[in-house]
């Protein structure tokens, strides 16, 4: 009777655990997996993007020199507030320049974005990636699941063997069978205890980690996404400026003679194609969408966890 | 500078960049030297504003990194403890596997191999 009672208690606990694990699997684990997948490899993509942008800015400066001009659109040029801007925008820019302590984060002679500018962005990107990948590790532990399967299997085998032994017509067979069956229950109990600990760590800590980091992840994602958009727009603007300069240069009286030369015309077309390919490349390399997705997934994850906490 | 203000400033500069693109896209920029120079001047001014926002952002990101690094260390500690817990489960499983020897002994005893 005691054995039956014990079995009933165990099966009730097992059902409760399965139900709980199921709820977690349906909502939270897939989001954590998606977050891990989004974060994996993102640091390299971010680093490559800024490196590529710097290469293109350098090429723009070289191309201006090739047509005998100083790059007119560098922020380090002497340009003050442009007359093409509204008074409100001019005033906002003046205020912005004062607030940024007059320091300009780009360079005229070296790379457009210096090393420290890129490293601040890559460091934050790298922390986001580490966070997503490790959170996924924290929430999923396949080895523990495998252990659980192995143990559950053994428990079943002990039960079958216990039944078989009990039915044998040998002295002490029934007592031996009962012992074997009890062993199966001990196996199950020990396993459930350990699994409960791992489950507690996985869920409680995963939830706590997400809650602790929600604000900072949100802020870093917004900052990186904004920055990639700004970086992309700046290089595109400068490419458009260069494109117009080429059109002027090759249409000018001085170059009309050269234009009749097929090779010069070919060079002109090649330059325009190069600019178009840069524009397309920047569009596709820009990782701002990745950080928008990361932010959205983390926000949904946080809401799921907060929702579960609200509903007990 | 507050983080949400830097976000607003980013959006402001993005709008200015659109204005630069619009000037460069204007057919006058292909034929009128004075107009193209004005477009370049606008581009340089917006470049200054963009660089100023990005400089602010560098400071902001460095602060974020400091705060986040502490949290990542905490996450690493949690992972290490979880690994220990998993080891407990695995060791438990290994111990239980040893019980198979008992099964074999019983099978031999009763001749039910």
B4 CA to centre of own chain: 18
Q: Which of A110-114, A143-147, B48-52 has the highest mean pLDDT?
A: B48-52
Of A170, A201, A251, the CB nearest to B82: A201
CB contact under 8 A, B12 and A92: yes
The alpha-carbon gap from B9 to the nearest alpha carbon of chain A, in Å, equals 8
Question: Quick one: pLDDT at residue A107?
Answer: 59
The ipTM, to two decimals, is 0.84
A13 or B47, greater pLDDT = B47
Q: Is the pTM of this model over 0.90?
A: no
Q: Which residue of A has its CA nearest to B79?
A: A138
Mean pLDDT of A74-92: 80
The angle subtended at Cα B110 by Cα B104 and Cα B113, nearest 5°, is 55
A66 or A45, greater pLDDT = A45
Tokens representing A101 are 């302590």
| Buried b or exposed e, range A12-30, using 16+ CB within 10 angstroms | eeeeeeeeeeeebeeebbe
Question: Quick one: pLDDT at residue A281?
Answer: 94
Neighbour-count burial of A300, counting CB atoms closer than 10 A to its CB (0-12 exposed, 13-18 middle, 19+ buried): middle
CB contact under 8 A, A168 and B76: no
User: Mean pLDDT in chain A?
Assistant: 82
A25 or A219, greater pLDDT = A219
Q: How confident is the model at residue B81 (pLDDT cuts 50, 70, 90)?
A: confident
Which stretches within chain A are classed as H helix? 2-39, 42-66, 87-99, 115-139, 142-166, 173-200, 206-251, 253-260, 262-285, 288-310
A83 or A3, greater pLDDT = A83
Residues A180, A158 contacting (CB under 8 angstroms): yes
Question: Quick one: pLDDT at residue B91?
Answer: 74
Question: Quick one: pLDDT at residue A100?
Answer: 80
pLDDT digits (tens, 9 = 90+) for B9-24: 999 999 999 999 999 9
Q: How confident is the model at residue A167 (pLDDT cuts 50, 70, 90)?
A: confident
Q: How confident is the model at residue A108 (pLDDT cuts 50, 70, 90)?
A: low
Cβ–Cβ pairs < 8 A, chains A and B = 274
For residue A289, pLDDT beyond 70: yes
Residues A195, A148 contacting (CB under 8 angstroms): yes
For residue A5, pLDDT beyond 60: no
Closest to A217 in 3D by CA, of A100, A301, A120, A308: A301
Question: Quick one: pLDDT at residue A293?
Answer: 98
Contacts of A137 in chain B (CB under 8 A): 79
């Amino acid at each position: 009777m005691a054995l039956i009672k014990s079995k009933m208690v165990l099966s009730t606990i097992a059902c409760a655990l399965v139900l709980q694990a199921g709820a977690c699997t349906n909502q939270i684990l897939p989001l954590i997996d998606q977050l891990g997948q989004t974060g994996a490899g993102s640091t390299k993509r971010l680093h490559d993007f800024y490196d590529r942008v710097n290469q293109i800015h350098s090429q723009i400066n070289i191309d201006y020199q090739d047509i005998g001009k100083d790059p007119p659109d560098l922020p380090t040029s002497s340009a003050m507030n442009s007359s093409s801007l509204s008074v409100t925008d001019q005033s906002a820019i003046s205020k912005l320049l004062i607030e940024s302590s007059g320091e300009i984060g780009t360079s005229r002679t070296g790379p457009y974005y210096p090393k420290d500018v890129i490293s601040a962005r890559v460091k934050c990107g790298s922390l986001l990636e580490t966070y997503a990948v490790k959170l996924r590790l924290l929430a999923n532990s396949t080895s523990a699941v495998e252990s659980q399967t192995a143990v559950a299997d053994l428990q079943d085998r002990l039960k079958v063997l216990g039944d078989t032994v009990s039915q044998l017509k040998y002295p002490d067979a029934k007592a031996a069978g009962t012992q074997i069956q009890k062993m199966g229950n001990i196996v199950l109990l020990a396993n459930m205890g350990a699994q409960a600990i791992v489950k507690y760590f996985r869920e409680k800590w995963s939830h706590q980690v997400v809650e602790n980091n929600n604000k900072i992840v949100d802020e870093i994602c917004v900052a990186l996404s904004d920055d990639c958009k700004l970086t992309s727009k700046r290089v595109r603007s400068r490419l458009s400026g260069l494109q117009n300069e080429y059109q002027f240069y090759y249409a000018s009286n001085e170059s009309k003679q050269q234009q009749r030369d097929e090779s010069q015309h070919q060079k002109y077309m090649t330059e325009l194609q190069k600019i178009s390919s840069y524009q397309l490349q920047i569009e596709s390399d820009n990782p701002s969408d990745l950080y928008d997705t990361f932010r959205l997934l983390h926000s949904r994850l946080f809401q799921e966890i907060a929702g579960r906490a609200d509903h007990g | 500078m507050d983080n949400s203000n830097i976000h607003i400033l980013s959006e402001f500069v993005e709008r200015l960049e659109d204005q630069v693109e619009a000037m460069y896209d204007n057919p006058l920029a292909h034929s009128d030297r004075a107009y193209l120079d004005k477009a370049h001047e606008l581009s340089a001014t917006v470049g200054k504003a963009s660089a100023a926002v990005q400089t602010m952002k560098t400071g902001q990101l460095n602060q974020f990194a400091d705060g986040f690094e502490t949290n990542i260390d905490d996450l690493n500690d949690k992972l290490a403890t979880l690994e220990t817990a998993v080891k407990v489960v695995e060791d438990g499983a290994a111990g239980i596997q040893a019980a198979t020897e008992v099964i074999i002994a019983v099978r031999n005893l009763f001749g039910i191999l």
